[in-house]
Structure 1
């Protein structure tokens, strides 16, 4: 017997955009989170975090978690000092970034196209949550893969996250006259449709 209710339910499911149930997962091997530290007023060093995880859920909530124990400066003792005295990884082993992404805008992109985002992000670091602004470009690399890359660095101020005491300790341990407390951060994040 013909069931009008079942037919209507099936039609509604077909009409839903594919992104309504879509979830994107971060591809760690293709993603990077880089920060620049400046010491003695003029010596810059490029550093990164080696371990990232994240996703964009079916509602468009993007989350990236940073393993702070994976900080990599190229010098092991410096990595340990950052972990122990700046990030205090025994208590705060991860940092988390969250923002909203328009799944409809992603769906409308053709492969090779991009759009610019100027959006608030929430950074949770050292037990403190702050809102920052991120400028990024979103590229559709393939039908199931997107790239989110910083168009401008995000400035993270140590003072806003209770990290000044850690910076002072690093200065003391390294015998440095100064370490910058405003740190530019850039990112390249690749997500794949689950």
Structure 2
């Protein structure tokens, strides 16, 4: 599949938030030596990263072109951490940076952001002979199997719908 980078118009067939050259520059500036290799593999990692960001979070505002738009961005009705309106005809830099960060993980370990999950294979407590181990916060949900990238959360946190978080972060209510 060819990589089609979102241009800010809400393309119905876009599958990437950022292009390879820009992600290359991002990682080069940060000294991320693991971002290396064939451009086809990098494109696939960027496509998987963009898909992950699109489906894993509840964003502020609404898609520019509604349901026909392939990716979660561009959007209207979103504001940044300082209260400035996010342009509805662009993919915010925070989303591009988050795409680069997720793509790095996907390049190094393809599929790591959306691992297969089999509930019956999850271990909460394990006993071998006299030794017994119970794991802290053993989570037997599919969302618990996904890694949480704090850098991504920090980059995009203020673009998320208030109180929504993502599928990996719940909400607490006081009765």
TM range (shorter): under 0.3
TM-score scaled to structure 2, two decimals?
0.28
TM-score scaled to structure 1, two decimals?
0.26
Q: Whose helix proportion is higher, 1 or 2?
A: 2
Larger radius of gyration: 1
